[in-house]
Amino acid sequence: MIYKTWRRWMAVMVAGVVAVALTSCNPSQFKAEAARVPQIVVAVLGEPSTFNYALNESAYSVFGFIYDGLISENPFTSQLEPNLAESWEVSEDKKRIVITLREGLKWSDGQPMTADDVVFTYNEIYFNTKIPTSVRDILEIGESRALPSVKKLDSRRVEFTVPEPFAPFLRYVGGIPIMPAHALKDAVRTIDSNGNPKFLTTWGTGSDPKEIIGNGYYVMESYTPSQRVIFRRNPYYWRKDSQGNPQPYIERIVWQIIESTDNQLVSFRSGQLDTLEVAPEAFQLLKREEKRAGFKIYNGGPNTGTTFIAFNLNKAKNAKGQPLVDPIKSRWFNTKEFRQAVAYALDRETMKVNVFRGLGELQNSFVYVKSPFFLPPEKGLKVYNYAPEKSKELLLQAGFKYNSDNQLVDKDGKPVRFTLLTNSERKTRIDMAAQIKRDLAKIGIQVDLQIISFNAYLQKLKETQDWDCYLGGFAGSGIEPHSASNIWKTTGSSHAFNQGPQPGSQPLIGWEVSEWEKEIDRLYKQGAQELDEKKRIEIYHQYQRIASEQLPFIHLVERLDLQAVSDRIQGVRYSALGGPFWNLYELQVTK
């Protein structure tokens, strides 16, 4: 899910979803400076993979601090509100939007931000097929995969038009970052010896952070790999308070890279951090300390993200002619009854109690439960409650059997054994993987755990594609289901369970797409084009019926959205969709 409101980006930045890091830093040195410089010290599990928004695939990134959206989403009402754009007009047929930028906008280097930047960003970056970016996935319209046309009307006005209706059009156009033409146009237009734009190697993490230009609250001051990123207030940011004072008020953000949730907890309890995503195992401890230690735990209810396991259904071969997945395992994974049997074998209630300490909710769909597009079980969403005998029944029906050692074997007598991949930075993930291994052993399936750093994990999923099954998740994006289009469209960059060829990636031989995948793809395109709300809801309900039957993702448990915030941070208005820092521009800190 690549689309997020920029306010939600702030929550993701400080909460930490998934990533990797090594740390040798001393956070207390920055706390000592807080008396002189108004600042917040936050922690993330991992470091950024790039400073180039268009190329980013990681959950951890700097972009929520250095970019602002044209339009923002109110975290309480989900209504759209002006941001870098002061206004917009939508035509009666919903196919044309004219956005008017605020007067006097500037980039962080002082150069003017104009309609030229908007047109450049869309036409030369996001719509450039030589640039592999997830943004294209959510902006493609219908079966033709047409893209909006973007045209400058004058220095402050930009016209977006679509050839067909596109329901989430304004929400996405408003939320996607605009990039600086004056800094990037040469890199986009210069082609290297391999025929690729120089842009693909521009603004990597080896770049001088001070050279990265944005239009958001902050600019990067420094980046020390595996330790920290320091952000300074953007002197050219447009927002001012009612008295004419520039915002944000907080001068500096220190982004500490701390390698584990356990270490983050230690740092928070010792006063070295101002905020902490509260892991289930730490909740009772922190709740007892809340008043005495001077912080507050906010509970936003069920997290908007998803956690699941997914099997690799890809039948393709790589450029060397080698199958991405062992053909024997591929037959198992591509059997619907096998996936359903695995789902029935997972004791999610026990997982909720033992791993999440009761501070979680069972999930059954990618769509957020508070979204009007969510399909409740009573209307057809298939739910897989713990039923190991049902698992065995399905496996026997599918041609599997049990040997004398009560081990599951396939029709050819091959023992059923596969590797479950997950990342090492979150204790909760590791504990979930351990329970999955135990649960599946009870129905005769042997699971080997492969717990690796997030960078290595991402490389397997996105590049080499040599994995059997992975335990992972996606950050939430609120109530709009089209935000998951890059997951469900067959050509999507995050269609991980059967990833097709992507720009700049290895070629695939013999990639196949199942009929149910094609149908979900069709429904996603249809849902985005339907302007009638009731009809649109039914379209996304139908997609959820298919997904819950075919089970490319086996949903698990998602934590409650718990965040501890120091009392020294004033002005917090917590929102489940926006997190604690959606209004970072108006927060203040006490000494």
Q: What is the pLDDT of residues 216-274, one digit of tens each?
A: 999 999 999 999 999 999 999 999 999 999 999 999 999 999 978 899 999 999 999 99
Complete DSSP assignment for 249-278: ---EEEEEE-S-HHHHHHHHHTTS-SEEE-
pLDDT (tens digit per residue) in 454-469? 888 988 998 889 999 9
Query: Angle of helix 427-441 relative to helix 261-269, nearest 10 degrees?
Result: 140
Please state whether beta strands 252-257 and 228-233 pair in parallel, antiparallel, or not at all (unpaired): antiparallel
Q: Which of 73-77, 219-223, 465-469, 529-533 has the lowest mean pLDDT?
A: 73-77
pLDDT (tens digit per residue) in 393-418:
999 999 999 999 999 999 999 999 99
Q: List residues bridging with 317 in a β-sheet.
A: 323, 509
Say which range, 25-29, 306-310, 436-440, has the weakest mean pLDDT.
25-29
Taking the CA atoms of residue 526, residue 531, residue 535 and residue 540 in that order, the dihedral angle to the nearest 10 degrees is 50
Predicted confidence at residue 462, as pLDDT, reads 85
Distance CA(138)–CA(485), nearest Å, equals 6
Handedness of CA 571, 105, 198, 485 (dihedral sign): positive
- What is the pLDDT averaged over residues 301-312? 92
Q: Distance between CA atoms of 524 and 11, rounded to whole angstroms?
A: 27
Q: In what order do the strands lie in the sheet with 228-233?
A: 39-44, 252-257, 228-233, 218-224
Between 537 and 20, name the one with better pLDDT.
537
**476 against 260, higher pLDDT:** 260
| Cα 44 to Cα 145, 296, 299, 305, distances in angstroms | 36, 19, 20, 17
Looking at every residue in the chain, the average pLDDT score rounds to 91
Mean pLDDT value across residues 526-552: 96
pLDDT tops 80 at residue 89: yes
In the prediction, which pLDDT does 329 show? 98
Q: What distance in Å separates the CA atoms of residue 183 and residue 124, rounded to the nearest whole number?
A: 13
Least confident of 44-48, 329-333, 363-367: 44-48
pLDDT band at 46 (very low <50, low <70, confident <90, very high): confident
* Least confident span in 224-238, 480-494, 541-555: 480-494
- How many residues does the structure list for the chain? 591
Q: Which of 50-64, 375-389, 530-544 has the lowest mean pLDDT?
A: 50-64
Phi and psi (nearest 5°) for 327?
A: -55, -30
Tokens of 400: 């599997």
| Out of 105-114, 132-141, 430-439, least confident range | 132-141
Confidence of residue 142 (pLDDT cuts 50, 70, 90): confident
CB atoms under 10 Å from CB of 246, counted, come to 15
Nearest to 118 by CA among 146, 153, 90: 153
Q: At what angle do helices 336-345 and 427-441 cross, to 10 degrees?
A: 110
* Predicted local distance difference test score (pLDDT) of residue 33: 52
3-state helix, strand and coil shares in percent for the chain, rounded to the nearest 5: 35, 20, 45
Question: What pLDDT does 144 receive?
Answer: 84
Cis peptide before 248 (omega within 30 of 0): yes
Task: Indicate whether 500 pLDDT > 90.
Answer: yes
What percent of the chain has pLDDT above 90?
75
Please, which residues have CB within 8 angstroms of residue 515's CB and are 6 or more apart in sequence? Answer: none
């300074």: which residue's tokens? 232
Beta carbons within 8 Å of 160's beta carbon, 6+ residues apart: 96, 97, 98, 99, 148, 149, 150, 169, 173
What percent of the chain shows pLDDT beyond 70? 94
**Which residues lie below 8 Å from residue 50, measured CB to CB, with a gap of 6+?**
56, 58, 61, 203, 204, 205
Q: Looking at 120-129, 201-210, 427-436, 459-468, which range is the least confident one?
A: 459-468
